[in-house]
Structure 1
Amino acid sequence: MKRYIFILLFMYVAVGIYAQRKVIEVEPATASQSETAKTLKRKVAIGRFSNETQYAKGLFYDKENDPMGKQALDILSAKLAASGKFILLERNDMDKLLAEASTSDGGFQKIGADYLIVGSITQFGRKNIGDAKLFSTTKTQIVEAAVSIRLIDVSTGLIIYSDEAKGDAEEKTKTTMGLGGRADFDATLSDKAISAAISQLVENIINKCTNKPWRAYFLSYDNDAVIVSGGASQGISVGDVFAVKSKGKTVKNPQTGINIELPGKTVGKVEVVSVGGDTPEAEYSMVTFKEGNIDGSKLQDYYIEEIK
């Protein structure tokens, strides 16, 4: 009997050790599955953020230095930068470029970005609500704002996303028999209301910009080097491999009158051998062809694209 119990105990311990060993062997494979894919940053320029409301527009109002418009632009820039998916470009001549883009073909491409954001504050207001009872008084400050945003694909000049969102912020104070806090004018409520509206649009902006594969373009092609746009700040590093594509045919939609570029054809692959440039606008990468080739006299007919 004792011998039988000893054999059972031995088998139980052996099975336990074997099961534990099997679990330990599985752990490295599980950890390797958590690796995340590399993300290439898009270049985004915020063209302007105008105040289309009548709020704070007095006799000496300066449209070029509108505090609410700058406030909204700074909030949007901060939220996009925090996502880690974009390089934000500042262009002092943006108004001039936007004017050229509206009157000439390919004008948007002079902006030097992948996407352009144009926004406006379409609604803004403040109100105070009071509630007086026998022994207490409640006062609430409420700020409401509405923000409209358009996202433009610079390569085509088409608006790929347009939406409006509303946000609000409030501060409530209560006094009882004359005791308690007082609700003085709170300037930060406008920040919070505009931020709340923009927050509802940021995720859609990020998704629209990253849905389309990252692209770059050929800058130079000769015996000395093949150079493409984009560099280290966008996440490009030595050894990266990209597909080379020829631009697809452009056709006109008879229903809308808009030109549509059809998908391009893969004609080769390139590998990054070095990166350079001092600023995001001036960055470049030197590449070599791993597969295929292109006509060096027609660089405008080709582009490189991330391989997903």
Structure 2
Amino acid sequence: MKSISAIVVAIGAASAATLAGCATVEEPPARVSTPQVSVAAQEAAAKPEAPRLKRRIAVTRFSNSTRYGKSLLYDGENDPLADQARDMLVKRLVESGQFMVFERDNLDELAFEQSLRNESNDFDLVGVDAVVIGSVTEFGRKTEGQSGFLSSTKKQTAQAVVEARLVDPRTGLAFNSASGQGNASVEAGEVAGFGSRAGYDASLNDAAIGSAVSDLTSELVSKLADRRWSTDILRLDGSQVIISGGSKQGLRKGHVLSVETQGETVKSSQSGLPITLPGKKVASIEVVSFFGDDEYSEGAIATVITGDLSSYDKDSLVVVEGGQL
């Protein structure tokens, strides 16, 4: 009997050791979505937060440059993956609070709604500082798994890369570019028939695209913020200057801005592009109050602290960023 008991104990120990060496998952982990945050975005996030004056941007064409989702049912301008990436990018740019984002993709629908109101079909469109044109350049999925004695695991991963270029609408020059990478994964496993089994998870595609777009948005925010901000003068009244833009666009009471003459625009024979020559600084103004209901209709009232604007026409001047008091 002792020998039989010893054999049973030995078999139990061997079985336990075998199960311990199998691929096991105690609990299936939650889905993980990871944007591949760029070094530039990390450095920008590490800097002290400062007021940022909002730029006007528009997101136009977005395309799907991958083979994923290609079908005879979709043409090149109506690809679901590209439309999804564009909508996600517009949403994140609006939520960032750094830009005024203008619609350019659905003007026909807007014209129809305007006609229902018995209004003119001529849009009073606002010019923008930059146009964003982008594409989904990489997208793929992979499934990895491990099998052992009485156990198995399965991991599904989706990866995406979204790229965009920033175009100056005045010249058509692509002056900068940005890219975003992201991935999403889910894992499940079972031991001796117990645990979870994972089928095809289509929502991983959405999570991977969303992560890539989030990374792209971080790069766009840092790169567009480097462009010079300017606004126009609505009215000159002695030492009082009324300008476009207010607190919701990043201006604060006490902000000191520079007033310059409009620089002459000349064509460069070297590049073939128009170049605006530097204007002459003629005054400094300090923001004292705001008016208006929202960021698109508000303005600021400023007073002249240095210089004299009495001999200038408001249309010949431009207001640009200056130092803080």
**Structure 1: distance between partners of 2:286 and 2:169:** 26
Question: What TM-score does the superposition give when structure 2 sets the normalisation length?
Answer: 0.65
> Where do residues 265-276 of structure 1 align in structure 2 (5 Å cutoff)?
265-276=280-291
Describe the superposition over 1:76-115 as per-residue Cα deviations: whole angstroms up to 9, x where unpaired: 345445544x13424256668xxxxxxxxxxxx9543333
SS of 1:228's partner is strand
8 Å Cα contact 1:269/1:292 also seen in 2: no
Greater shift in the superposed pair: 136-145 or 68-77: 68-77
Q: For 1:76, what is the secondary structure of its paired residue?
A: helix
Alignment partner of 1:46 is 2:59: yes
* TM-score (structure 1 length as normaliser): 0.68
Q: 1:193 aligns with which of 208, 211, 214?
A: 208
Alignment partner of 1:236 out of 231, 244, 251: 251
Structure that is richer in helix per residue: 1
CA apart distance, 1:307: 1.1
1:135-160 CA-to-partner distances (Å, cap 9, x unmatched) read 33332222121211112345665322
Residue type of the alignment partner of 2:230: R
Higher RCO by CA contacts (8 Å cutoff, separation 6 or greater): 2
Equivalent residues of 2:54, 2:100 under 8 A apart: no
Is 1:72 aligned to residue 72 of structure 2? no
Q: Contact 1:217 / 1:302 at 8 angstroms: preserved in 2?
A: yes
CA distance in 1, matches of 2:78, 2:293: 30
For residues 65-104 of structure 1, what are the structure 2 equivalents within 5 Å?
66-81=79-94, 83-84=96-97, 86-91=98-103
C-alpha deviation, 1:183, in angstroms: 1.4
Deviation per CA, 1:243-297, whole angstroms, max 9, x where unpaired?
Answer: 0012334344444323333433211123345433334333333444332227655
Q: 1:282 to 1:156 in 2, by over 3 A?
A: farther
206-215 vs 54-63, which moves further: 54-63
- Alignment partner of 2:263: what SS? coil
Question: In 2 relative to 1, CA 218–129 (structure 1 residues): closer, same or farther, beyond 3 Å?
Answer: same
Match of 1:128 among 139, 143, 148: 143
- 2:71 & 2:299 partners in 1: Cα distance? 47
* 1:248–1:74 distance in 2 versus 1, CA, 3 Å: same
Kindly, what percent of the aligned residue pairs are identical?
Answer: 39
What is the root-mean-square deviation in Å for CA atoms of aligned residues? 3.5
Aligned match of 2:229 in 199, 211, 214? 214
| Structure 2 residue aligned with 1:202 | 217
Is contact 2:51–2:251 with CA below 8 Å preserved after alignment? Answer: no
Within the candidate set 150, 155, 165, 1:150 is matched to 165
Could you tell me which residue of structure 2 aligns to residue 293 of structure 1? Answer: 309
Q: Deviations over 1:167-220 (max 9, x none)?
A: 322222223333321112223312332233234433332222222343112244
Choose which of 276, 281, 300 in structure 1 pairs with 2:296.
Answer: 281
Stretches of structure 2 lacking an aligned partner (at least 5 in a row): 1-47, 109-123
Structure 1 Cα separation of the partners of residues 299 and 291 of structure 2: 5
Alignment deviations for residues 24-70 of structure 1 (CA, whole Å, 9 cap, x no partner): xxxxxxxxxxx975433333333343333343344543777654334
Equivalent-residue separation in structure 2 for 1:120 and 1:36 (angstroms): 30
Unaligned ranges ≥5, structure 1: 1-34, 97-108
1:159 counterpart = 2:174 = yes
Distance 2:189 2:220 in 1: 40
1:114 aligned partner: 129
